[in-house]
Amino acid sequence: MKDATTAFFEDLSQRGHDSRLDRATGTVRFDIVNGKRVDRWLVAVNKGDVAVSRGNRAADTVFRTDRAVFEQLVQGKTNPVVQMLLGTATLEGKPELLVPFRHLFTGKSAADPRSTAGYARRQK
């Protein structure tokens, strides 16, 4: 079975556009440390249009953490601010580019209407 990280980026790549990133334009590189290896995912966002690629290229924002933490993050089991305060994740460059990704770190796929900020009906 695919890990949550790969699923997250593949899902994002397939969508091509995510309205939750409408406010963002720039490149964010996620450096995910996996033992001695670093997996690098580059997400180029242009007003919500998303292109995902792999590789070590310069980016406006670099978010770095280890694999276990990122797995938790994309599943909505932990919070990026907490990880940065703990020192288990670091952010360089423009933080404003990472902030909208909070809306994607919910552990739900985009097709699920409950994952869309502000338009969901709360489960009573």
Partner 1 sequence: MSDGLVKILDGNTFVVSDDRGDIEASLTDPTGLFSYDTRFLSKWVLSLNGQRLNALSTDDLHYFETRFFLVPGTGTVYVDAKLSVIRQRAVGNGFTEELTILNHEDEAVQLTVRIDAASDFADLFEVKDALKKKGKYSARVEKGSLVLGYQRETYRRETTVSATTPAQIDENGLTFSVTVDPHGSWATELSVTAGLGLGEGLASGRNGGARRRRPSMEKNLERWLADAPRLECDWQPLKATYRRSLVDLAALRFSPRIAGGRSLPAAGLPWFMTMFGRDSIFTSLQALPFTPELAATTLLALGAWQGARVDDFRDEDPGRILHEMRYGEMTAFEERPHSPYYGCADATALYLILLDEYERWTGDRQLVRDLEPEARAALNWIDEYADLLGNGYVSYKRRNEKTGLENQCWKDSWDSISFRDGRLPGFPRATCELQGYAYDAKVRGARLARSVWRDAGLADELERQAADLKRRFNRDFWVEDGQYFALALDENGDQVDALASNNGHLLWSGIVDKSKAKAVVRHLMGPRLFSGWGVRTLAEGEARYNPIGYHVGTVWPFDCSFIAWGLRRYGFKDEAAQIAAGILDAAEFFDGRLPEAFGGYERKLTRYPVQYPTACSPQAWSTGAPLLFLRTMLGLEPVGDHLIIDPALPVGIGHLELLDIPGRWGRIDAFGRGRVDIDHKAGLRQQLGR
Q: Which residues bind partner 1 (CB under 8 A)?
A: 19, 22-23, 76, 79, 81-82, 84-88, 90-96, 99-100, 102-103, 105-106, 115-123
Helix (H) or strand (E) holding 28: strand 25-34
Rounded least distance, CB 97 to partner 1, Å:
9
The CB-of-112 to partner 1 minimum distance in angstroms stands at 11
Least distance CB 105 / partner 1 (angstroms): 8
Residue closer to partner 1 (CB basis): 15 or 108: 108
* Cα–Cα nearest to 32, from 83, 77, 81, 82: 83
CB-nearer residue toward partner 1: 2 or 122: 122
Are 58 and 93 spatial neighbours (Cβ–Cβ below 8 Å)? no
For 100: left if phi > 0, alpha if psi spans -120 to 50, otherwise beta; the answer is alpha
